[in-house]
Amino acid sequence: MALDLARRLVSRGLVQKDEASAALAAHARGDAHFVRALVASGAISDTALFAELAGMDLPVVHRVVPLLALCDALPGALVEQLLALPVREDPRTQTIDVAAVDPLDAHVARELSHQLGAPVRLVGAPLSAVDASLAELSREGPGTGEFEVPSPPAFPLIDRKTPPYLARPVLDDRLSASVPRLKTQSDIPIPLVRRSAPRLSVAPAVDAAPPATSRAPRVSLPPRAADPGPVLGALRRATSRDELLDLMLNGLAMVCGKAGVFAATRGEFRGVRASESLAGHARVRELVVPAEGPSVFATAALMGHYLGPVPPTPVHAALREVLGASSSEIAVAPVRVEGVLALLTLQAEIDDTMLATKRAEDVARAAGEALTRILHRDRQAPR
């Protein structure tokens, strides 16, 4: 319900109670959507509202490019009433991502799931972007092909015109917004947007000294889709870096066919460990991606996550060769220790994108806790 978003905005001090009540009343009467009424009243700007959604670790898009075939399958007035448009369909799970101005409204997900006959995941979008797409749909009419959607006003956090894999990493404490601008059709695949920027200059060393052979150790993995609880619990109790890396792969590979862990060192991202399906045909320790240029690792470090294909660019050539056909969709997530980027996880041959990204977050969080404890222990150990 719109009530969830209203409570969130009031509790955060972004909207006054009487302002939220007036917008809810207009929404209940059918005069206007809650978000439209709230923005029209001047209680909060579209920019501030979208920034709040992005800060909640919700998946968001800055531009809305709807799937016209799915829009045609919906009642004409429904998308305008709900201010929600389908923008992506997962080919594996058939889950449909719907860009909505109120991604907290479970009613929107239930209604569109019923209409489309498929599970629905809501992603946040600015009101201006949804309005621009609705206006374009109205001009084009049903059953049309692709169309261009005007770019909405600039929002903070990330450059809306830069594809996720072209985000540049930040090598100090200052978050730089100077990224190359490229024309793109959509912000999908959807990265998770976070407020913090990575600090790569002081990342703790993780397994920095390679062994005599550069081939990554092969790790025996548990069955796919097994209960992750025991692995995550063991990961939090890990006492060494080698044990931690092996357990990370165990957790990641339960929901994907290939998994790897990369270390974030000064100036580069270097492979340190991989599952047998990946290490069996690649010298993972020889896989190096520069941190200076745009890459999937730089994007994950900057924005908190990457989900999508490995781009066919020179910097990704070795990674694409290693992954082969699996490079069509990967997930990368950062692991931070005391706010400093230390590791990045990689998943390929993903069974379920939603489950894989959630698992990567759980593994990253547990690994960060364990690495922090190991680092403190090593610092306090007598010399």
Domains of the chain are: 2-44 (no CATH), 68-156 (3.30.300.160), 160-383 (3.30.450.40)
> Is pLDDT of 181 > 60?
no
Query: Is 263:345 a contact under the CB 8 Å cutoff?
Result: no
Q: How far is CA 376 from CA 279, 295, 305, in A?
A: 31, 31, 27
Query: Is 50:126 a contact under the CB 8 Å cutoff?
Result: yes
The full length of the chain comes to 383
Q: How large is the average pLDDT for residues 363-368? A: 92
In this prediction, residue 36 has a pLDDT band, given cuts at 50, 70 and 90, of very high
Cα separation of the two ends of the chain: 59
- pLDDT computed for residue 282 by the predictor: 54
In this prediction, residue 143 has a pLDDT band, given cuts at 50, 70 and 90, of very low
> Is pLDDT of 247 > 60?
yes
3-state DSSP assignment of residue 376: helix
3-state DSSP assignment of residue 369: helix
- pLDDT computed for residue 102 by the predictor: 93
Cα–Cα dist 256/250, whole Å: 10
Please state, rounded to an integer, the average pLDDT across all residues of the chain. 76
> Is pLDDT of 343 > 90?
yes
Query: Is 40:32 a contact under the CB 8 Å cutoff?
Result: yes
Higher pLDDT residue, 56 or 221? 56
Cα–Cα dist 127/152, whole Å: 9
In this prediction, residue 307 has a pLDDT band, given cuts at 50, 70 and 90, of confident
Within a 13 Å sphere around the CA of 261, how many CA atoms are in the beta-carbon half? 33
pTM of full prediction above 0.95: no
pLDDT in tens, 250-260: 899 888 888 99
In this prediction, residue 377 has a pLDDT band, given cuts at 50, 70 and 90, of confident
- pLDDT computed for residue 141 by the predictor: 56
Cα 317 to its chain centre, rounded Å, is 23
DSSP 275: -
Handedness of CA 51, 53, 54, 56 (dihedral sign): positive
Cα–Cα dist 72/145, whole Å: 11
